Amino acid sequence: MCSTFPRCFPRRSCRSYRVNDLSAPFLACWSRFTTWRRMRTQSGSSTTGTSNSSPEQTLRAGGKWFKKFWRSPTAQTNNNGSSTTDGHPSPTEAEKPVVNPNFEECLEGQYLFEAAQLLIDREKHLFGEITEADAIKAHEEGVKKLAADQKALEKRIEQTVQQSLSLSSEEEWSALTSAVKAINLEEEQDQLWRQRCRTPPAWRPKKWKEHHDKVLHELVYSRLENPSSPTGDQVNLSSIQADIQSMGRQLKEDMQWVVEVVKNCYPPEMDICNFYARQYHQTFSARLRKIADFVLDDKDCSFLLRWVKEFYPGILEKPELASNINTEELGNLLPDELLKPLEEQYLSKQQSDLMIFIGRVLDEAKKEWDQGKEPTRDDGCYVSPVAYDVIQFINGIVTSAHITVRDPHKAQKITSNLTDFMQRYKEFHEDIIRQNKRHSKAFIKANLSCVKQFRDFLITESHLFPKNVRENCLRGLTEMKQSAHTYLLTPVHKILKPHYKKVGTSDWLKKNTFEKLLNSTEEELRELQGLTQSCHQELIGQLQQEMTVEYVRRLLKGEVKLKDKDRQLMAYMTVKENAERLHNLFARMGSKQDWLKEILTKMAEVLKLQDIPAIQMQIFSLGSAYPDLSEKHVSALLKLKTNLSKADRKIVKTTLSDTLKESRADPGTRRFFSKVEVR
């Protein structure tokens, strides 16, 4: 029986109806349907894609015109509020028949799921409980028509799926959703037929899910094969670079479209985002493999490697994609056998570029030296751009390479030749000192600032350098710093030498002797201006230490004889006052070497003390603080006190021997007395 006819019609086969048998209500209904179809045909696509309603509203709206059509003919409401139909009272709302659209109408309206359901119902009817012979004989035309409809639906679904990445209206969005539901419905029907013991129709199994995957694979391939990319973005790019960039841009745009739009048309269990990600990954990978097989120049190699290791992972790491895609399952775009040669070529090029760039910086500095130009001043300090420029090049190139190869150890290869540069810089530095020209001091002061910057950079950014390279460079910088200090301080010591000679003599106990030394030192300190604050602090700290060493050396020569308690007290006061004034002078100039004052103060205490146990304790204190204090130093200091017997001196030295051995085991203690030569 045909269930689509109104219930008021007699229950008989649909085919048994003749025109004369049809009631007036049905004829009116049919007339309105043909009128609607004619209007629908005339309006055509003029209304397609213009709706602003949501996909759900579109579906509901689509259903309404089918349901509205198959209800009873247009009712006219009389003055009493009751409706009439062609002069007859209309049936109640419950009695109004609702007739669903047929297959052709569903196909035309893009209701592909409903169309698939209709075909499955027909399939069940044609291949039901009747025998195969009866089915073939009685329903041959029905089967043929059903097969044709199956092909029509499959074609329409394929067309809809092919438009997945170019949906331009809510109707197309709704159509894709319906197509996906139809595919899943057909998959279920395939499964049901596998479970039956009867011969399935010729079109079973349909494998529409498999065909869906194949269509999307071909769609992805075609989009990467013919990507759309603005021509303005390809200026100054080689053909290989333009090809890679166009594919990458297309991949990025399409994957964003998938997670924002296409995903909503699929049920979660189909995991469509990861499916698309795998298709794009595999297709992009295959294209890049072909490119990597060529012998690429350095620019193309760098561009390809950055896309593989930097840009492509960066696309997948975007939050909107990362939350929908399992990136770990995708793996690398290129296998190791292709990736390793690209990385080696890239890193070698970066290393070569770095050495060229920093070499030019040093050449420019040499050029200014040869021309007799003084370094520029910044806030009164001599400065050189060498360290700043070199550090910028190293930091920029190595950091960029680290991002590209995603391996800090590999990126360190770029700085593996930095020792050669430091050796050239050191030779230039030594040549300035050797020539000792008018502007040599200015250049050395500027170089000291560079040495400080290089040291800080090597220590704080140690991950940019191989360990042996960093250690060699630091060693060379230490030598440069020491040679610069020696060059700048040697003239100072030469001027102060006449004053040094008075220390430890009888004249030394007179106040004006050390006064002259301090005055001369202050004048020379002014000549050391022009350094940056940190470098100036280190330099005058070095001078303070060297002056203290020279002071102790002269004192321990033993030219002055402290025969009694009074002279020993005088010597104590002199050494203590000298220590205080020397400390104040250098502290005023910015030195932070406070510990040097303590050495002279402890030595002065030894000169003052008369009891052997007290002297032992003071020597113990001095030796504990400075474990490089030797018995020679103690013996020379005690010899100044001529009233001490040889036996007393031996007691003091013997008592300290074990203590000094224990103190030397501590690597954190300062060293001072090892620089003081004692005969």
- pLDDT tens for 294-349 read 889 999 999 999 999 999 999 999 999 999 999 989 999 999 999 999 999 999 99
What is the phi/psi pair of residue 83, to 5°? -95, 150
Out of 40-44, 123-127, 443-447, give the one with best mean pLDDT.
Answer: 443-447
Give the contacts of 273 (CB within 8 A, at least 6 positions apart): 258, 259, 263, 324, 325
Q: Identify which has the larger pLDDT, 44 or 115.
A: 115
Judged by DSSP in three states, 77 sits in strand
pLDDT reported for residue 576: 95
Long-range contact list for 46-54, CB < 8 A, 24+ apart? 48/169, 48/171, 49/168, 49/169, 49/170, 49/171, 49/172, 51/169, 51/170, 51/171, 52/170, 53/170, 54/170
Instruction: Grade residue 53 by pLDDT with cuts at 50, 70 and 90.
Output: very low
Q: Which two tokens stand for residue 316?
A: 């997948």
Global confidence as pTM = 0.72
407-431 average pLDDT score: 96
Output DSSP code: residue 317.
T
Query: In the predicted model, is pLDDT for residue 44 greater than 50?
Result: no
187-212 average pLDDT score: 75
Q: How far apart are CA 570 and CA 510, in angstroms?
A: 10
646-672 average pLDDT score: 74
Q: Which two tokens stand for residue 112?
A: 């592909």
Residue at token pair 């759309």: 228
Which domains does the chain show, CATH number per domain? 218-334 (no CATH), 342-483 (1.10.357.50), 502-675 (1.10.357.70)
| 326, 274 contact by CB (below 8 A) | yes
| 626, 672 contact by CB (below 8 A) | yes
Q: What is the 3-state secondary structure (H, E, C) of 376-438?
A: CEECCEECCCHHHHHHHHHHHHHHHHHHHHCCHHHHHHHHCCHHHHHHHHHHHHHHHHHHCCC
Q: How far apart are CA 108 and CA 169, in angstroms?
A: 16
Within its chain, how far is the Cα of 309 from the centroid?
11
Give the contacts of 394 (CB within 8 A, at least 6 positions apart): 354, 358, 415, 418, 457, 464
379-406 average pLDDT score: 95
Instruction: Grade residue 13 by pLDDT with cuts at 50, 70 and 90.
Output: very low
pLDDT reported for residue 571: 93
H-helix or E-strand spanning residue 89? strand 88-89
pLDDT reported for residue 218: 95
Q: How far apart are CA 564 and CA 567, in angstroms?
A: 6
Residue type, position 102, single letter: N
Q: Which two tokens stand for residue 596?
A: 């040097």
DSSP E strands, 107-222: none
Instruction: Grade residue 620 by pLDDT with cuts at 50, 70 and 90.
Output: confident
pLDDT reported for residue 167: 85
Q: How far apart are CA 66 and CA 64, in angstroms?
A: 5
Output DSSP code: residue 311.
I
| 517, 499 contact by CB (below 8 A) | yes
H-helix or E-strand spanning residue 76? strand 76-77
| 62, 109 contact by CB (below 8 A) | yes
Compute the CA torsion angle 630, 634, 639, 644 (nearest 10 deg).
-140
Q: What percent of the chain has pLDDT over 70?
A: 75
Q: How far apart are CA 590 and CA 570, in angstroms?
A: 30
Q: Which two tokens stand for residue 574?
A: 């002199």
Q: What percent of the chain has pLDDT over 90?
A: 56
Give the contacts of 411 (CB within 8 A, at least 6 positions apart): 347, 398, 401, 402, 405, 464
pLDDT in tens, 203-241: 667 788 888 999 999 999 999 998 886 655 667 899 999
Query: In the predicted model, is pLDDT for residue 242 greater than 80?
Result: yes
Instruction: Grade residue 126 by pLDDT with cuts at 50, 70 and 90.
Output: low
pLDDT reported for residue 510: 75
Burial label, 62 (beta-carbon count in 10 A; 0-12, 13-18, 19+): buried
pLDDT reported for residue 23: 37
473-479 average pLDDT score: 97
Residue type, position 178, single letter: S
Instruction: Grade residue 139 by pLDDT with cuts at 50, 70 and 90.
Output: low
Out of 140-154, 182-196, 562-576, give the one with best mean pLDDT.
Answer: 562-576
Instruction: Grade residue 261 by pLDDT with cuts at 50, 70 and 90.
Output: very high
105-128 average pLDDT score: 62
Q: Which of 34-48, 301-315, 377-391 is predicted with the least confidence, judged by mean pLDDT? A: 34-48
pLDDT in tens, 516-541: 999 999 999 988 999 999 999 999 99
Instruction: Grade residue 154 by pLDDT with cuts at 50, 70 and 90.
Output: confident
Query: In the predicted model, is pLDDT for residue 393 greater than 90?
Result: yes
Q: Which two tokens stand for residue 79?
A: 């003055």
Out of 121-135, 178-192, 438-452, 658-672, give the one with best mean pLDDT.
Answer: 438-452
pLDDT reported for residue 202: 64
CA proximity to 122, closest of 177, 179, 201: 201
Q: Which two tokens stand for residue 442?
A: 């200015």
Q: How far apart are CA 377 and CA 375, in angstroms?
A: 7
pLDDT reported for residue 568: 93
**pLDDT, averaged across the chain:** 81
pLDDT reported for residue 653: 85
Q: Identify which has the larger pLDDT, 644 or 20.
A: 644
Distances (CA, A) of 31 to 3, 5, 161, 544: 20, 15, 36, 115
652-669 average pLDDT score: 67
pLDDT reported for residue 102: 61
In DSSP terms, 382 is beta-bridged to 377
150-158 average pLDDT score: 81
Query: In the predicted model, is pLDDT for residue 111 greater than 90?
Result: no
Q: Identify which has the larger pLDDT, 31 or 566.
A: 566
Within its chain, how far is the Cα of 232 from the centroid?
27
73-85 average pLDDT score: 41
Determine if the peptide bond prior to 313 is cis (ω within 30°). no
336-364 average pLDDT score: 96
Distances (CA, A) of 620 to 139, 532, 549, 642, 661: 119, 40, 20, 21, 12
* Burial profile 392-414: b = 16 or more Cβ within 10 angstroms, e = fewer: ebbeebbebbbebbeeeebbbbb
Q: How far apart are CA 649 and CA 618, in angstroms?
A: 13
Q: Which two tokens stand for residue 381?
A: 């300090």
Q: Which two tokens stand for residue 294?
A: 């060529």
Q: How far apart are CA 443 and CA 356, in angstroms?
A: 23
Judged by DSSP in three states, 511 sits in helix
H-helix or E-strand spanning residue 85? strand 83-85
Phi-psi region of 379 (alpha: psi -120 to 50; beta: other; left: phi over 0): left
Distances (CA, A) of 580 to 510, 519, 542: 16, 15, 18
pLDDT reported for residue 459: 97
Report strand pairing: 76-77 vs 377-378: unpaired
Q: How far apart are CA 117 and CA 521, in angstroms?
A: 104
Query: In the predicted model, is pLDDT for residue 10 greater than 70?
Result: no
Judged by DSSP in three states, 631 sits in helix
pLDDT reported for residue 236: 83
pLDDT reported for residue 509: 84
42-51 average pLDDT score: 38
Query: Could you count the other beta carbons within 10 Å of the beta carbon of residue 34?
Result: 10
Q: Which two tokens stand for residue 291?
A: 């490119």
Query: In the predicted model, is pLDDT for residue 92 greater than 50?
Result: no
Using the Cα atoms of residue 474, residue 476, residue 477 and residue 479 in order, give the sign of their dihedral: positive
In DSSP terms, 76 is beta-bridged to 84
| 186, 206 contact by CB (below 8 A) | yes
Q: Which two tokens stand for residue 468?
A: 């042996």
Q: Which of 116-125, 171-180, 451-460 is predicted with the least confidence, judged by mean pLDDT? A: 116-125
